Amino acid sequence: MADDGRSDAGYDADDHHDPRLTDPVHRTLAGVLDAARPNTDGAVADYIPELADVDPEPIAIALASARGSVHEAGDSRVEFTIQSASKPFVFALALDALGLETMTRHVGLEPSGEPFNAISLEASGRPDNPMINAGAIVATSLVDGETTEQKFREIRKGLSRFAGRGLELDESVYASEAATGDRNRALAYLTHAAGTLAAPVDVATDTYFRQCALVVTARDLAVMAATLATGGINPLTRERVISNDAARWTTSMMTSCGMYDASGEWLLRVGLPAKSGVGGGIVALQPEQFGVGTFSPRLDERGNSVRGVEMLTTLSERYGLHMLDPRGEPLSPIASLDPDDGTTIALLRGDIRFAGMEEVLTRLLPLVNDDGCLVLDFTGVTRVGGGASRVFRGVVDLAGTNPDGRARVEIRDPDGVLRD
């Protein structure tokens, strides 16, 4: 079903009211989509018989914010199979359950610089990374369960939690992949022989074929990406799906390896962690801000959606979304200084990370002396980064006390933003 402008942006829309008038983000996405629509380069994935017959024309983009608003343009409710866009999420589930040390005994963390289905194994037998097929099959083999049914149940449940709704299996696509998946079986046999595969070959590959055949929409991909962007919390359901560490590690792998042998150029030009799938979907994110899902079935020679790449490139370039873009001088975290009878109250504000902590202490600690007290008031602060919080908490002891026994530095933290 085509969608010309759905948005769950937190307002009550009248049935006769054009949503584009109340959702400027939709207008933004629609403009990006319209710029890519004329591009008919590429071809659908014909090496999987069921995918060879898909309609090549649908095009969609959706954005889910970290606060839970979803904005959509184009055919954002058209269903397709997730394919390799499932890889970061399955890796995240296994990583969250087993930890980084265990995962890296089985799969590497380095870009391969080779196509997604290449035989990219280290001398030890580890696949180069979990975003190529060999590494993804190993990651799937590490998911909890002894049988295909048990492992797939865990994967389906986990990816459904990422999407915020139950995901279904496309039985026809699964059967088609299983019937033509000998190269993936060969990769599995190589990793099994090397001792890195954690399940029998038939269990690992059959589970992998099933995970790739889960049905999603561009909207689903946006929500799934936003769950990674928020550190593992689904912004719609507010459920914690994975740990913050697992989300950060997974996003790192998407940044360096997610677009296969185009990952370096992608990072330079687009600058968003991303992962593509031969079903035509691309999932991308800006950490702490939003997730994006795109869909268009025609692929380039690297297996990435042609119009999906164009949409995300335009979105990043037009709106300055490259995650390494300089942001200019930030707003000072010191809102005001109020001297009062020997006590100086520093009212702090906003989101304070390491650089903000450095500014606060570098500017204000010279005010500390034996004749008064510096009060760091965090009432107006929304969040303090973990490292910054530890430094702030140590300042009271570091500053010591005045001759009269009063602390030279006091912390005022009514909302507990300095707690770990």
Residues with catalytic roles: 84, 87, 208, 260, 278
Strand, coil or helix: 351: strand
Task: Give the DSSP letter string of 204-256.
Answer: HHHHHHHHHTBEE-HHHHHHHHHHHHTTSB-TTT--B-S-HHHHHHHHHHHHH
Give kind and range of the element (H or E) at residue 307: helix 306-319
β-pairing, 215-216 with 334-340?
Answer: unpaired
Instruction: Please say whether the beta carbons of 102 and 144 come within 8 A.
Output: no
Strand partners, 74: 60
Residue 229 token pair = 């962007």
- Look up tokens 């962690």; give the residue: 273
Nearest by Cα to 352 from 265, 411, 408? 411
Of the candidates 143, 337, 176, 318, which has an alpha carbon nearest to the alpha carbon of residue 242?
A: 143
Residue 113: both structure tokens together: 């610089």
Rounded to an integer, what distance in angstroms lies between the CA atom of residue 232 and that of residue 93? 10
Q: CA separation (Å) from 157 to 93, 183, 211, 287? A: 10, 27, 11, 24
Q: Which residues contact 161 (CB under 8 A, 6 or more apart)?
A: 234, 237, 239, 241
CA–CA dist 302, 201 (Å, integer)? 26
What are residue 121's DSSP bridge partners?
Answer: 127
The amino acid sitting at 244 is N
CB 155 within 8 A of CB 140: yes
Match 């030279």 to its residue by tokens: 408
Are the CB atoms for 273 and 283 separated by under 8 Å? no
